[in-house]
A and B are shown apart, each in its own frame.
Chain A
Amino acid sequence: MKLPIYLDNNATTKVDPRVFETMTPFFLETFGNAASRNHSFGWSAEEAVDYAREQIAKLIGANEKEIIFTSGATESNNLALKGVFEMYARKGNHIITAATEHKAVLDACAHLEKQGAEVTYLPVQGNGMIDLEVLKSSIKDNTILVSIMYGNNELGVLQQIQEIGAMCKENGVLFHSDATQAVGKIPVDVIKDNIDLMSFTAHKMYGPKGVGALYVRRKNPRVKVTAQLDGGGHERGMRSGTLNVPGIVGFGRACEIAIAEMDKDAAHTSRLRDKLETELLKLEESYLNGNKDSRLPHTTNISFKHVEGEGLMIGIKDIAVSSGSACTSASLEPSYVLKSLGLDDELAHSSLRFGLSRFSTEEEVDFTIKTVTEAVNKLRDMSPLWEMFKEGIDLKTIEWTDH
């Protein structure tokens, strides 16, 4: 077993060696510009891009013409929100999204609010799920877009996408989903799910960084977004810029592998995830964050009460994970996602997110269980909060200094 162990696969994944191998000729041999129409270098590049487009479309049940290549999910989210807002300005200015969305969505919405958009940020329930009744009652005459993420990046919680899609369709409102964490991990079908626009990226599914896609529906209804970059009019005029051919080829290959191996990967990661989770939840005062019954197969988020997440991460330095603690940020604010579940700040500061991959091994998980358990126990021995808890003191009754 090699140290350190990588369990931060919601941040990014290792490129699958098969993907890497497929990409290499496109740096050194087939390096043409896919938009060059007058020589074989360009033709070969275009052919490779077209093939990748088909592979990617197939994974999500789309037509290849509905795939718009971007630099990643952040750009896709921006293009979807800003592009729809501009394109459908005559229809309305109201956008509905949720409090637990990724910053790429929330900050794009904040930007649009300055441009005159009206944005509703739906709260989530304690398990991270949106209340569909609340969503339904938020849709108004001037609503043009609902943007709800497929799987949450911090919790892995999966929203009821099919139901939300159907509700949007019924009300004649466009539906965008940030499916960055879900595509390639679980079956995603834009037709079944009634999704009109969908953002996703290669590097969360064993592909390269720097390449993503926005699915833009062409039929029932035909959706268009206003381009956010001016230039050569690539990608049906919706996203100008020379295509990242090696990246796109890798993205395509990653999708092809995902189609073939998704079931196997999901079984593997969920088995290891469940083992890790079950063992860590045996620790006293440890809590699972998010809906256990509706979530991604490879993610778990656990709070270890009375232990601070960042300190815990130093204690487990051979294991790469993420924490909801934001001790380094200027605001000292812990994760807004955890806070929107109603977790108090202390529990939010005490959380770790584990993300497994197809490359994770049983040995790594066993080592992680042992290391995290030891570190939590050690830090609790050092924690004044743990001592007070053990003495039966209610921490809420203490008057803390306003540090």
Chain B
Amino acid sequence: MAYSEKVIDHFNNPRNVGTLDKASDQVGTGLVGAPECGDVMRLQIEVDNDGKIADAKFKTFGCGSAIASSSLATEWLKGKSVDDALAIDNMEIVEELALPPVKIHCSVLAEDAIKAAINDYRVKQGLEPIEQEKSIVH
């Protein structure tokens, strides 16, 4: 299967690979997927005092589309408010990266990772986690 140019670009030049301090109250960490499914994403956000995402980092075990989806997600997250970040939909990632149908689960995983990171941050701030719709099981 051929990958789109955008996927290849994110794969070769991943944005924001790294680790934030998961112990910090300002940092939310989302770890989704499972090794036996062939993809695991860890996405982290650092939120400033105004509720804006000042930094975002990822690490992903997975195929090119999974790496590209998480790399793109961190790019989109930076500078967004937490509320705006919650609105990111996996289909936007699919469109941006021109993912084929068999790779849609990679974008779902990225959306799940964003939501999981935000919830982790919310819980640390003493807020209720946001109820998530169960994503499609593959």
Contact = CB atoms under 8 A, between A and B. Distances in A.
A365 B135 CA distance: 43
Interface string A294-325: 00000000000011111100110000000001
Interface string B1-29: 10100001001001001010000000000
B27 to A, nearest CB: 15
Given A314-B11, A328-B1, A345 B35 contact: yes
A383 B60 contact: yes
A403 B62 contact: no
A401 interface: yes
Interface residues of A, number: 33
A346 B36 CA distance: 5
A308 B17 contact: no
Contact of B41 (A326, A346, A384): A384
Given A310-B64, A311-B67, A381 B17 contact: yes
A308 B31 contact: no
Contacts of A262: none
Interface string B108-129: 0100100000000000000000
Nearest to B64: A314
- Main secondary structure, interface of A, reads loop
B55 interface: no
A384 B63 contact: no
A49 B105 CA distance: 51
A308 B59 CA distance: 13
A345 B36 contact: yes
A6 B98 CA distance: 28
Contacts of A306: 61
Given A314-B11, A327-B63, A308 B36 contact: no
A130 to B, nearest CB: 26
Contact of A403 (B3, B33, B61): B33
B38 A384 contact: no
Contacts of A310: 38, 62-64
Judged by DSSP, the binding face of B is mixed
What class of interface size applies to chain B in its complex with A? 35 or more
A274 B34 CA distance: 33
A139 to B, nearest CB: 35
B33 A400 contact: yes
Given A328-B1, A383-B61, A308 B38 contact: yes
Contact of B61 (A328, A385, A401): A385
A49 to B, nearest CB: 39
Interface in A318-344: 325-330, 332, 334, 344
Contacts of B34: 400-403
Interface in A78-125: none
A349 interface: yes
Contacts of A326: 38
A283 interface: no
Given A345-B35, A400-B35, A311 B63 contact: yes
A327 B8 contact: no
Interface in B22-69: 31-42, 59-64, 66-67
A329 B35 CA distance: 16
B40 A325 contact: no
Contacts of B33: 400-401, 403
A314 B32 contact: no
Contact of A307 (B42, B59, B61, B102): B61
A141 interface: no
A311 B60 CA distance: 10
29 contacts: A306-B61, A307-B61, A308-B38, A308-B61, A308-B63, A309-B38, A310-B64, A311-B11, A311-B61, A311-B62, A311-B64, A314-B63, A327-B38, A327-B62, A328-B63, A334-B38, A344-B35, A345-B35, A349-B36, A384-B31, A384-B59, A385-B40, A386-B61, A398-B31, A400-B34, A402-B137, A403-B32, A403-B37, A403-B112
The 3 closest A-B pairs by CB, nearest first: A345-B36, A400-B34, A346-B35
Interface of B: 1, 3, 8, 11, 14, 17, 19, 31-42, 59-64, 66-67, 102-103, 105, 109, 112, 135, 137-138
